[in-house]
A and B are shown apart, each in its own frame.
Chain A
Amino acid sequence: MTHAITAVDLVKKYGDVTALNGLSFTVPPGTVFGLLGPNGAGKSTTIRILTTLSRPTSGSATVAGFDVRSRPDEVRRAIGVVTQRSGTDPVATGRENLLLVAHVHGMRGRAAKARVDELLALFDLTGAANRLAKHYSGGMQRKLDVAMGLVHRPSVLFLDEPTTGLDPQARSEMWAEIARLARHERLTILLTTHYLEEADHLADHLVIVDRGRLVAQGTPDELKSELRGDAVVIDLSPDASVDRARLAIEGLAGAREVTVSGRTIRTRVDHGASAVPAALAALERSSVAVAAVTVARPALDDVYLRHTGRTFTAAEEVAAR
């Protein structure tokens, strides 16, 4: 088996709405692969197709070497799925939730029990094993979810937005768990996220999707190194003229890729720190008042902006409408 997952020209239409518009990618085994995009980009649709829940309108995909359309039973035995909505039974205990998965996968008696105990210990849930899942905190529930996805030692694990809704501490704990799984369990993980930070932190390789299409792919570092230099972000005062500010910045020597969103102007320069005084002087000459200036090393947000022409936050706001 050369690839853990292959997706070829996946198209999914819901009536007139095209959720996926020809998405292709491959995932090498034993890696953490990130599918990054704003809400509504087609990430969950992709997961539903790869986990055999939904059939593509056209295109094909294999998971663990099996075609998702013609061999769904083999795919289901090879994968672990952690859906966006929890998936745990709230009126069962943590242990019962895990045992049910073990039994459904044909594990019996002592073997099933031993595997469940092992996972409870691994996710630090042994103390809560006999409590009903509805009494778990958000972070514990998410850990139980991931543990349920691992009971049968799958070769591919799907994590759909694993940290959405978690507080920052639970999120960083979950990141540590995922990183550890990737190192020790020889597992391929496909992770969807709309947190740029999360993809940057966890994924060995990632694709950026927007409106059902792939817009960029590579390692987080490759994607970021496509962007030469630093980002300078200038927030204007409420009464400043955005047009005059834009002209002033575009006139600066060395300023590339000037974009405006709301009262914020972004540009890219070779050396951020030395460009700031010149930028401020130019704005001063045009009588534009500045509220704040920040200089940032390239981040995935900039990659997204460059490939889609809009910032991640703006795309999320459009999706939310």
Chain B
Amino acid sequence: MTTLVPHSGYLTRRMVMAALRQPAFVAISLVQPMIWLLLFGQLFKRVVELPGFGTGAYIDFLTPGVVIMTVLFSSGWAGMSFIDDMDRGVMDRMLSSPVSRGAMMVASTLNQAVSIVVQSVIVVLVGLLLGAEFPGGVPGVLVMLVAATLLGASFASLSNGMALVVRTSEALIGFSTMLTLPLSFLSSAMMAREAAPDWIQTVSSFNPVDWAVVAAREALSADPAWGGVFARLGGLLAVAVATGLVATRAFRSYQRSL
């Protein structure tokens, strides 16, 4: 336990350095959100005329949704770096050294957090360029970053845990897609809750993706209901801790396969 904090620091530095040396990956991860903002935003411009959207423009509504979806999709890939490490022999070297297993999970999550902040700020800036207005201002954006990071931590852990179990990139891609696409459509990321069918409304209230979207959108609004925001952030934190603990146990599954 005493090694968890220092080891997390060293391993996070390793991952962030690697990411900085391959900036193309950040650029690629921004293609999808740009398509959503630019094309989806245009195509569904008039969707705000439906009841449930309030008074703002669709881009105001869509931008926080796109931030959360971007986080969801990119953290779903977190496990790929575990698989690279397995293929290269780095994983075996780590696991036969005194490296804290928990620190390997924490480092991957912190590395995700760094790229989440970069991606989210870029998406927000593009949203502003497209005319979005966020009355919640800078504090609202900061709360959105917290929600995004907590959600990203949960899905990075799930992805890492799954990587340790399935051990191939093909299977991990399948798992990640199967999880992230439905969860984003079963949330209010793109469509107002009230405009969705009843069953989706019910499902989405149990969906952490929706908690993050609602908390972010609320924090960016003119008069946020902070109680609801913090309740959702608390829920996201609980999910992040739980998935992190479960994923750390997956190292045992990996070692059993050796």
Chain A interface (Cβ within 8 Å of chain B)?
A: 48, 51-55, 73, 76-77, 79, 81, 83-92, 96, 100-101, 103-106, 132, 148
* Contact A100-B10, Cβ < 8 Å, known A86-B89, A87-B89: yes
Query: Which B residues lie within 8 Å of A89 (CB)?
Result: 14, 18, 88, 90
Q: A85-B89, A88-B90, A103-B10 are in contact. Are A51 and B17 (CB under 8 A)?
A: no
Q: Across the interface, do B93 and A83 meet the contact criterion of CB distance under 8 Å?
A: yes
Q: How far is the CB of A77 from chain B (nearest CB, A)?
A: 5
Closest 6 pairs (CB-CB, A-B):
A85-B89, A87-B93, A87-B89, A51-B96, A54-B258, A91-B18
Q: Cβ of B95 < 8 Å from any Cβ of A?
A: yes
- How big is chain B's contact interface, by range? 20 to 34
| CB-based contact B92/A53 at 8 Å | yes
Judge whether B88 and A91 touch: CB under 8 Å.
no
> Chain A residue with minimal CB distance to B85?
A89
Contact B10–A104 (Cβ < 8 Å): yes
Q: Mark B4-43, 1 if CB is under 8 A from A, else 0.
A: 0011001100100110011000000000000000000000
Residues of chain A with a CB closer than 8 A to B89's CB? 83-87
- How far does the alpha carbon of A132 sit from the alpha carbon of B22 in the complex, in Å? 12
In the complex the two chains form, what is the Cα distance from A51 to B7 in whole Å? 20
Is A90 in contact with B88, judged by CB distance below 8 angstroms? Answer: yes
Given A88-B90, A90-B88: A52 and B18 interface contact (C-beta under 8 Å): no
Q: A76-B98, A103-B10 are in contact. Are A53 and B258 (CB under 8 A)?
A: yes
A48-B258 contact, Cβ under 8 Å, with A87-B88, A89-B90:
yes
Closest A-chain residue to B103, C-beta based?
Answer: A104
A146 CB to closest chain B CB, in angstroms? 12
Chain B residues with CB under 8 Å of A79's CB are 96
Residues of B within 8 A of A54 (CB): 255-256, 258
Q: B21, B255, B258: which contacts A91 (Cβ < 8 A)?
A: B21
Q: A85-B89, A86-B89 are in contact. Are A104 and B18 (CB under 8 A)?
A: no
Residues A87 and B97 in contact in the complex (CB < 8 Å), given A54-B255, A104-B10 = no
**A91–B11 CA distance with the chains assembled, in angstroms:** 13
Closest partner residue, chain B, to A91 (CB atom):
B18
A81 & B6 in contact (Cβ 8 Å cutoff): no
Name, among B6, B17, B258, the residue most crowded by chain A CB atoms within 10 Å (CB to CB).
B258
Residues of B within 8 A of A55 (CB): 255-256
